[in-house]
Amino acid sequence: MTKKLLLRALAGETLPTPPIWMMRQAGRYLPEYRATRAKAGDFLSLCYNSDLAAEVTLQPIRRFGFDAAILFADILLLPQALGAELWFETGEGPRLSTITRPADLGALKGKDDIHDRLAPVYETMRILARELPRETALIGFAGAPWTVASYMVAGRGTPDQGPAHALKAADRKTFSALIELLTEATIEYLSAQVVAGAEVVKLFDSWAGSLKGQDFTDFALAPAARIIAALKARHPGLPVIAFPREAGPRYVGFARATGADCVALDNSVSAEWAAANVQKDGCVQGNLDPRHMVTGGQGLVDETRRIVRAFAKGPHIFNLGHGITPDGNPDNVALMVETVREAR
Ligand code: CP3
């Protein structure tokens, strides 16, 4: 069997047509996702229902024939497995019990105590490894420590990660200990996903852009480097995608500094700039503005072609610069896929 396209790009091959998948490809923009979520009851129940989580993972594969499936779960399941309370406020987003004092941190579980809670997630992965088409790659994921910590400290999403920055400034010891626990637990979590069938893992550092200077080095680069080194030691040859969203100039050299096989680009950097400065070190993923999934038309086609052309001289995985939004139109997703596959 020839190697899956996504794995070939991750191994550094320049392909005539880039493999394509989409962040949040299983999500509310799909009527079949909304129906399955209603059947599960709510979002978290869907995450922990292995059969239904596998079903929503497969829905966008059936509809669009993407080159990769990403496990259906959430980055906040790990804090929950560590003992944080987690719930979702409809129309608003996640809420967690907060970590602000050493005692809050001390009350959390250890890195090896997460697997009972996460067992349904591993079961979802095993179902997917069995049921995916043979040409489709299976991606596991976790949040990067800084991004996950920003939710744990604030107890919710925040525009500027203010509470996490404040704890980092006021009590660096507690903050660093939280990052340490998350780094260790993320290694165990991702390793278990690989054992269950993930062929690639992706580390989502959605809020990396708010870390500056030495903080970026200490809390985005260093934890990613440790996680990747540990995973590759346990699972030789495992490809890793890192997504330090909105890292801007710090995208340059990120792959080399962390050992990532591929850096995922958000849509705030131009593809032409990234081809010259980031793709020179290896595979890149991205970076169409997700807004085009709402607006469609010639703008979508032109931008898709421009990005494919800009990255054509090196290894590239086509994706959006961030997740598709609930108002995205499935017809526009189909148009994007068609355009990528005929573009070269
Ligand atoms: O990409 C995929 O299709 C795989 C599944 C996936 C989800 N979340 C499902 C989800 C992945 C990889 C994530 C990652 C995730 N979760 C991130 C990092 C990526 C990013 O978007 O920056 C973050 C920050 C979270 C935390 C999170 N989960 C938030 C802030 C929210 C609420 C905002 C929103 O979009 O509603 C979620 C909920 C969530 N996670 C949904 C999905 C499909 C929507 C929930 C629903 O169905 O009601």
With a 6 A CB cut-off, is 323 part of the ligand 1 pocket?
yes
pLDDT of residue 2: 73
C-alpha dist (Å) from residue 117 to 13, 97, 256: 38, 17, 34
In tens, the pLDDT along 7-44 reads 999 999 999 999 999 999 999 999 999 999 999 999 99
Integer CA distances (angstroms), 12 to 5, 69, 209, 306, 315, in order: 11, 20, 26, 21, 5
Q: How far apart are CA 109 and CA 181, in angstroms?
A: 9
In the block, which residue shows the tokens 């896929």? 337
Active-site annotation holds for 33? no
CB 247 within 8 A of CB 232: no
Is the Cβ atom of 28 under 6 angstroms away from ligand 1?
yes
So what's the pLDDT on residue 337? 98
- Catalytic: 251? no
Provide CB contacts within 8 A for 112, sequence distance 6+. Answer: 188
Average pLDDT score over residue span 200-221: 98
pLDDT of residue 90: 87
In the chain, the domains with their CATH numbers are 5-342 (3.20.20.210)
70 lines ligand 1 (CB under 6 A): yes
pLDDT of residue 238: 98
pLDDT tens-digit readout, 97-125: 999 999 999 999 999 999 999 999 999 99
User: Using one digit for the tens of pLDDT, what is the confidence trace for 253-275?
Assistant: 999 999 999 999 999 999 999 99
Is the shortest distance between the CB of 59 and ligand 1 below 6 Å?
no
Q: How confident is the model at residue 91 (pLDDT cuts 50, 70, 90)?
A: confident
Residue count of the chain: 344
Look at residue 343 and tell me whether its pLDDT is greater than 90: no
**Res. 308: pLDDT tops 90:** yes
Q: Considering the chain, what percentage of its residues have pLDDT values greater than 70?
A: 99
The residue whose C-alpha atom lies closest to atom 13 belonging to ligand 1 is 74
Query: What b/e sequence results for 126-163 when a residue is b if at least 16 CB atoms lie within 10 Å of its CB, and e otherwise?
Result: ebbeeebeeebbbbbbbbbbbbbbbbbbbbebbeebeb
Q: Identify which of 24, 182, 333 to mutate to test ligand 1's pocket (most ligand atoms within 8 A of the CB).
A: 24
Residue 24 designated active-site = yes
Expressed in angstroms and rounded, the spacing between residue 74 Cα and the centre of ligand 1 is 6
Q: Is 171 a catalytic residue?
A: no
pLDDT at res. 1: 55
The answer to whether the CB of 157 falls within 8 A of the CB of 86 is no
Residue 243 has pLDDT above 90, yes or no: yes
- Are 132 and 208 in contact by the 8 Å Cβ rule? The answer is no
How far apart are alpha carbons 141 and 341 in whole angstroms? 26
